[in-house]
Amino acid sequence: MIDWNTVITTIVASSTISVIVLAVFGFVAKSIFTQLLSRDIEKFKSNREIELERFRADLQKSAFEHQTRYQSLHVKRAEVIAELYSLLVQAEKDANSLANPFQFSGEPSQEEKSSQAWKSGKALYEFFEKNRIYFKPEICERIATFLEGLNDALVDFNSVLDALSHQYDPKERTKKWVEVWEKLTKELPPIKADIENG
């Protein structure tokens, strides 16, 4: 006959061993899983730090390039403004010298002054046209107005020079001369001031 006590004791003992084995296996499995998970988390953190540092470096590089380009453009714009202003002053000076009603002895002839005024006016115009990209539209408009006024004054003064060479009516010639002088000394300086302040 079967000894049920022995069978039950054997089953209970083997179950206990199974439970102990399963518990040990579960603990070992959990420890291995925890270690693997920890290692993956550390690897993930390390990769994220590397990516973050790379992103920061790229961002700094991009910011530096942008700043360098902006500074370079700013320096170039300052150089263009300085050169334009120098040409503007020279053109105004030459035109004023030409149209000044008080001509002194020892000065170049009116024809020489006219040639110089046209030359400096042309240099100003050409420089402005090549570099107008560096100016705001409203400044471009003011400079264009100044150039137009300067050109008109020089054209008008050429008619004064014509009148001198053909002995036209002195009153008419003097009137025209004064008109040109007033244009140069009264109309153009406010436009020049606008350019200086713009």
Distance between alpha carbon 92 and the CA centroid of its chain, in Å? 29
How many CB atoms are located within 10 Å of the residue 122 CB?
Answer: 12
* pTM for this predicted structure: 0.62
pLDDT tens string 134-155: 888 888 888 888 888 888 888 8
pLDDT digits (tens, 9 = 90+) for 31-59: 888 887 788 788 888 888 888 888 888 88
Task: Show me where the domains of the chain are located.
Answer: 73-197
CATH top-level class of 73-197? mainly alpha
Q: How far is C-alpha 59 from the chain's CA centre?
A: 20
Does residue 16 register a pLDDT over 70?
no
CB 100 within 8 A of CB 192: no
Separation of alpha carbons 24 and 17, rounded Å: 10
pLDDT of 164 > 60? The answer is no
If one counts every other C-beta atom within 10 angstroms of the C-beta of residue 196, the result is 10
